[in-house]
């Protein structure tokens, strides 16, 4: 589904991603962990098409297409979804109107008719229930005045509505209370099927108790320095990053 | 799609109302003097008092100087002798039925989404709107007149009102905007051609939206219409105004007057979607929109609210105002002004508090893109004796790109200590983050800008009647096409 080969990216001439390799197949859940500033959000931004970053080397193939050649919106329409670490507020635009526009743009891209109001409403109801999103929040302006946790929940609601092929969750668990965490996990687990995939960026093993990853990768200083199964996360939780840092700082020094 | 094609597409996106209509017209030769004023009045078979009014205005105008207090806006000096002051479709201006209207005209208005047939509905939306369609200097057709007449409501062209209801016109015309008011008001008072007249009798709630649609068609002409709305005690009316013009390389002058009189307990809502041709991307052509709009809350508890969405015109100077004379009267101004390319807008309001416990609200949203300049200029005046007057003003500016300008000029004059006046202003840039967020959800840049801008203007758009709000939203998006590369 997604193949990243030797991806390098820089901002203002400073290299942040220094050769990322990663393959994701349908049906898989990948967790990415790593210390602050290691490049996790940068990777997700680059994949989503944020223009602040210059791709200096490498390629990314998404469902047979050269992802880096696609406009941001076309990547989304091809089924790439990013749950933002810091969701953006859009005052005056209601959440449901925003989603309806998004759904119809995606449908139009695939040559499909606009969603019928009835179908849309049913979908809203269903997904709202899934992520236990308050009716009021669904109708309020996108993220405006939402609490940190509500914003995260709203990202999962949007993901559920848009049913992407590949969803990247950038620290969706940070700032969530236990209930919200369960809801996010429930959202992912319900949506998960053999045809889609998830990249879950997190700092905490806790989330991975709920969303069980097939692979865990450790990103450090712009590179994936270690990959393994879900036990890697447990190990990390115990040991912290010290050992890894030492090991790789020695190499790059 | 590469950035270049995006750019190309928008540069080539056209003003969609820029067509011209081929109708035979009866047009005065260019030039302005007393004889022209007399000829105009004669053409319209006006009573002597009106000719006198025009002549007084004209003589006064001659003594005035063209305003130059917006000197920072460079624009070609208007040659008032190079304008024709009357242009009308050749067929008879007063028409008994639709059959007598030139089919080309009917087509023109249909192209604009306006039906002159009463059975038809605007653009498929279930609506109930009576329309007065003004083409160049004359009113072509007013719909639903009989339905309205049953309630005693008068809704007709200004010219007809002069002939059929002279006592009302004489009583109210020029009482809110005297011909001495300003340069363009004086000019309009001398040469106004047509416009709409509306009278809602005591205690009547007008059952449908009333609307005037202005269309400039002929070249080399100016449009000088006059609208007069009188709401008697306890009356209510919601009034809409729309306008478009063909694309031309020349600048055309539009100098209108709108007067509103609200008696005791009356309420008048006046909504405008101003979409005159703005000129091309280099600033060639476009309408100079210099209009005077003012209402007076004459009686206690009267209410006047102006809602405007300004997207068109090369230059707009416009300050829809309310004189709050009656105690407990209310004035409101909700405005969205969008400027792109080389457009200039200087718009705002004046709220003049005279009566006790008068309240006014000003919400202004300016959006500038391209090389344009967008200014809010507003006056809140509380006169002595206007006890407990209150005003709240909120002026927000949104910038798209870094070559445009946004300015706010709030003037506050308070002569009564009990007044409470609040002013808030913000300036923001359309966020890269917001755009990226929208695009990540599958919206292209244009859609995203449209959505963000519409959200930004929500408070104002919510004040518009439904059918208009839908149009206005589309218009906002179109006006800003290509503004974010
Ligand atoms: N637009 C930018 N301009 C300048 N520096 C940037 C930019 N984006 C990222 N960086 C830098 O790149 C590095 C990686 O940042 P990134 O946000 O990807 O880290 P992260 O792994 O997501 O960290 P965290 O766990 O704190 O979210 C940091 O040093 C950050 O300061
Ligand atoms: Mg991050």
**Do the Cβ atoms of B442 and A106 come within 8 Å?**
yes
Q: How far is CA B107 from CA B322, B434, B468, in A?
A: 37, 42, 21
Q: Once rounded to an integer, what is the mean pLDDT over residues A120-136?
A: 90
pLDDT score of A54 more than 60: yes
pLDDT score of B147 more than 90: no
Asked if B485 has any chain A CB less than 8 Å from its own CB, the reply is no
**Do the Cβ atoms of B442 and A92 come within 8 Å?**
no
> Which residue's CA is minimally distant from atom 5 of ligand 1?
A11
Helix (H) or strand (E) holding B274: strand B267-274
Mean pLDDT of chain B: 82
**Do the Cβ atoms of A73 and B442 come within 8 Å?**
yes
Min CA distance, A167 vs chain B (Å)?
A: 11
CA B221 from chain centre, in angstroms, equals 18
pLDDT score of B342 more than 50: yes
State the residue for tokens 């000096």.
B77
Identify the pLDDT of residue B12: 37
Rounded to the nearest whole angstrom, what is the distance from the C-alpha of residue A225 to the centroid of ligand 2?
A: 17
Identify the pLDDT of residue B326: 97
Highest mean pLDDT among A67-81, B86-100, B299-313: A67-81
> Which residue's CA is minimally distant from atom 31 of ligand 1?
A37
pLDDT score of B130 more than 90: no
ipTM: 0.95
- Residue A103 with chain B: CB contacts under 8 Å: 442
pLDDT score of B409 more than 50: yes
Token duo for residue B159: 């010219």
| Pick from A103, A2, A5: nearest CA to A55 | A5
What is the C-alpha to C-alpha distance for residues B121 and B99, in angstroms, rounded to an integer? 19
Identify the pLDDT of residue B18: 60
Confidence (pTM): 0.80
Helix (H) or strand (E) holding B407: strand B405-414
| Pick from B234, B235, B303, B261: nearest CA to B175 | B261
- Residue A105 with chain B: CB contacts under 8 Å: 442-444, 447
What is the C-alpha to C-alpha distance for residues B244 and B273, in angstroms, rounded to an integer? 10
Asked if B433 has any chain A CB less than 8 Å from its own CB, the reply is yes
**Do the Cβ atoms of B441 and A98 come within 8 Å?**
yes
> Which residue's CA is minimally distant from atom 22 of ligand 1?
A41
pLDDT (tens digit, 9 = 90+) per residue, A161-207? Answer: 999 999 999 999 888 888 888 888 988 999 999 999 999 999 888 88
Counted residue by residue, chain A has a size of: 253
Identify the pLDDT of residue B454: 87
Rounded to the nearest whole angstrom, what is the distance from the C-alpha of residue A231 to the centroid of ligand 2?
A: 22
pLDDT score of B2 more than 60: no
Q: Which residue of A has its CA nearest to B452?
A: A90
pLDDT (tens digit, 9 = 90+) per residue, B22-59? Answer: 666 677 777 888 988 998 899 888 999 999 999 999 99
Asked if B394 has any chain A CB less than 8 Å from its own CB, the reply is no
pLDDT score of B94 more than 60: no
Name all contacts of A235-240 with Cβ < 8 Å and 24+ positions apart: A236/A33, A236/A205, A237/A204, A237/A205
Per-residue DSSP letters for B52-78?
Answer: HHHHHHHHHHHTS----TTTTS--PPP
Identify the pLDDT of residue B281: 79
Q: For chains A and B, count residue pairs whose Cβ atoms are closer than 8 Å.
A: 76
| Pick from B284, B252, B259, B290: nearest CA to B68 | B290
> Which residue's CA is minimally distant from atom 4 of ligand 1?
A11
pLDDT score of A236 more than 90: no
Ligand 1 surroundings by CB, under 6 angstroms: A 11-12, 16, 34, 36-42, 52, 85
Query: What φ, ψ does residue B359 adopt, rounded to 5°?
Result: -130, 140
**Confidence grade of residue B210 (pLDDT, cut at 50, 70, 90):** confident
Helix (H) or strand (E) holding B199: strand B196-200
Task: Please indicate whether residue A133 or residue A65 has the higher confidence score (pLDDT).
Answer: A65
Nearest ligand to the CA atom of A40: 1
**Confidence grade of residue B141 (pLDDT, cut at 50, 70, 90):** low
Q: Which residue of A has its CA nearest to B3?
A: A71
Interface of A to B at Cβ within 8 Å reads 48-51, 71-73, 75-77, 81-82, 84, 87-93, 98-99, 101-103, 105-106, 109, 141, 158, 162
Residue A154: burial class (beta carbons within 10 Å; 0-12, 13-18, 19+): buried
Asked if B454 has any chain A CB less than 8 Å from its own CB, the reply is yes
CA A101 from chain centre, in angstroms, equals 21
Task: Please indicate whether residue B125 or residue A235 has the higher confidence score (pLDDT).
Answer: A235
Asked if B440 has any chain A CB less than 8 Å from its own CB, the reply is yes
Half-sphere exposure of B392 (CA within 13 A, CB side): 4
Identify the pLDDT of residue B333: 95
Lowest mean pLDDT among A226-240, B139-153, B197-211, B386-400: B139-153
pLDDT (tens digit, 9 = 90+) per residue, B470-480? Answer: 777 777 777 77
Q: Once rounded to an integer, what is the mean pLDDT over residues B128-152?
A: 71
What is the C-alpha to C-alpha distance for residues A203 and B50, in angstroms, rounded to an integer? 81
A49, A81, A141 ranked by CB distance to B455: nearest: A141
What is the C-alpha to C-alpha distance for residues B342 and B68, in angstroms, rounded to an integer? 19
B440, B443, B455 ranked by CB distance to A91: nearest: B455
Lowest mean pLDDT among A154-168, B27-41, B59-73, B118-132: B118-132
Helix (H) or strand (E) holding B421: strand B420-429
CA A249 from chain centre, in angstroms, equals 28
**Do the Cβ atoms of A88 and B439 come within 8 Å?**
no
CB B60 within 8 A of CB B186: yes
**Do the Cβ atoms of B437 and A93 come within 8 Å?**
no
Highest mean pLDDT among A19-28, A200-209, A234-243: A19-28
Residues 69-88 of B with CB under 8 A from A: none
State the residue for tokens 């030797």.
A6
């Amino acid at each position: 589904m997604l193949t990243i080969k030797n991806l390098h990216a820089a901002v203002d001439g400073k290299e942040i991603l220094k050769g990322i390799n990663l393959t994701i197949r349908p049906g898989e859940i990948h967790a990415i962990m790593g210390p602050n500033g290691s490049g996790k959000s940068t990777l997700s931004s680059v994949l989503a098409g944020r223009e602040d970053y210059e791709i200096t080397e490498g390629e990314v193939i998404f469902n047979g297409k050269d992802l880096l050649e696609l406009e941001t919106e076309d990547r989304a329409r091809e089924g790439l979804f990013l749950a933002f670490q810091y969701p953006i507020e859009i005052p005056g635009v209601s959440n449901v109107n925003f989603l309806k526009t998004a759904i119809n743009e995606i449908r139009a891209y695939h040559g499909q008719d606009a969603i019928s109001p009835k179908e849309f409403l049913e979908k809203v109801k269903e997904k709202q229930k899934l992520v236990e999103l308050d009716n009021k929040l669904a109708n309020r302006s996108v993220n405006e005045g939402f609490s940190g946790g509500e914003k995260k929940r709203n990202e999962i609601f949007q993901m559920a509505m848009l049913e992407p092929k590949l969803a990247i969750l950038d620290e969706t668990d940070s700032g969530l209370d236990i209930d919200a965490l369960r809801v996010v996990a429930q959202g992912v687990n319900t949506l998960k099927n053999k045809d889609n995939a998830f990249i879950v960026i997190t700092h905490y093993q806790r989330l991975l108790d709920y969303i069980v990853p097939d692979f865990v990768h450790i990103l450090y200083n712009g590179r994936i320095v270690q990959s393994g199964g879900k036990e890697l996360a447990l190990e990390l939780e115990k040991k912290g990053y010290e050992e890894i840092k030492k090991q790789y700082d020695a190499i790059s020094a | 799609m590469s950035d270049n094609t995006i750019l190309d597409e928008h540069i080539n996106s056209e003003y969609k109302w820029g067509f011209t209509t081929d109708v035979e017209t009866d047009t005065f030769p260019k030039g302005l003097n007393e004889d022209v004023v007399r000829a105009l009045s004669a053409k319209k078979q006006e009573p002597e008092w009106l000719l006198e009014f025009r002549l007084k205005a004209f003589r006064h105008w001659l003594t005035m100087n063209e305003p130059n207090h917006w000197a920072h806006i460079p624009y070609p000096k208007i040659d008032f002798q190079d304008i024709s002051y009357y242009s009308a479709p050749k067929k008879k201006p007063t028409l008994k039925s639709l059959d007598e209207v030139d089919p080309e005209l009917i087509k023109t208005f249909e192209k604009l989404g306006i039906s002159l047939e009463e059975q038809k509905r605007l653009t498929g939306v279930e609506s109930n709107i009576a329309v007065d369609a003004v083409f160049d200097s004359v009113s072509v057709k007013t719909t639903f007149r009989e339905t309205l007449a049953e309630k005693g409501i008068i809704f007709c062209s200004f010219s007809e009102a002069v002939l059929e209801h002279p006592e009302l016109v004489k009583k109210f015309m020029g009482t809110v905007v005297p011909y001495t008011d300003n340069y363009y008001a004086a000019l309009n008072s001398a040469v106004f051609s047509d416009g709409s007249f509306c009278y809602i009798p005591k205690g009547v709630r007008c059952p449908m939206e009333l609307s005037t649609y202005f269309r400039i068609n002929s070249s080399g002409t100016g449009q000088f219409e006059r609208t007069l709305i009188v709401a008697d005690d306890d009356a209510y009316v919601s009034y809409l105004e729309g306008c478009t013009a063909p694309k031309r390389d020349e600048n055309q002058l539009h100098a209108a007057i709108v007067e509103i009189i609200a008696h005791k307990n009356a309420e008048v809502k006046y909504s405008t979607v101003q979409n005159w041709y703005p000129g091309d991307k280099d600033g060639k052509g476009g309408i100079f929109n210099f209009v005077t709009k003012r209402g007076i809350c004459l009686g206690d508890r009267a209410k006047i609210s102006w809602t405007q969405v300004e997207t068109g015109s090369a230059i707009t100077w416009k300050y829809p105002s309310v004189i709050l004379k009656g105690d407990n009267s209310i004035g409101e101004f909700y405005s969205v002004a969008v400027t792109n390319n080389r457009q200039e807008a200087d718009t705002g309001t004046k709220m003049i508090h005279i009566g006790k416990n008068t309240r006014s609200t000003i919400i202004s949203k300016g959006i500038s893109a391209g090389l344009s300049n967008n200014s809010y200029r507003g006056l809140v005046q509380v006169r002595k004796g206007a006890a407990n007057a209150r005003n709240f003003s909120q002026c927000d500016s949104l910038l798209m790109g870094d070559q445009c300008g946004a300015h706010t000029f709030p003037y506050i004059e308070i002569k009564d200590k009990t007044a409470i006046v609040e002013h808030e202003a913000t300036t923001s840039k359309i966020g890269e983050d917001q755009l990226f967020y929208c695009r990540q959800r599958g919206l292209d840049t244009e859609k995203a800008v449209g959505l963000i801008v519409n959200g930004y203007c929500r408070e104002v758009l919510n004040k518009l009647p439904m059918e208009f709000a839908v149009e206005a939203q589309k218009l906002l998006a179109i006006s800003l096409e290509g503004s974010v590369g």
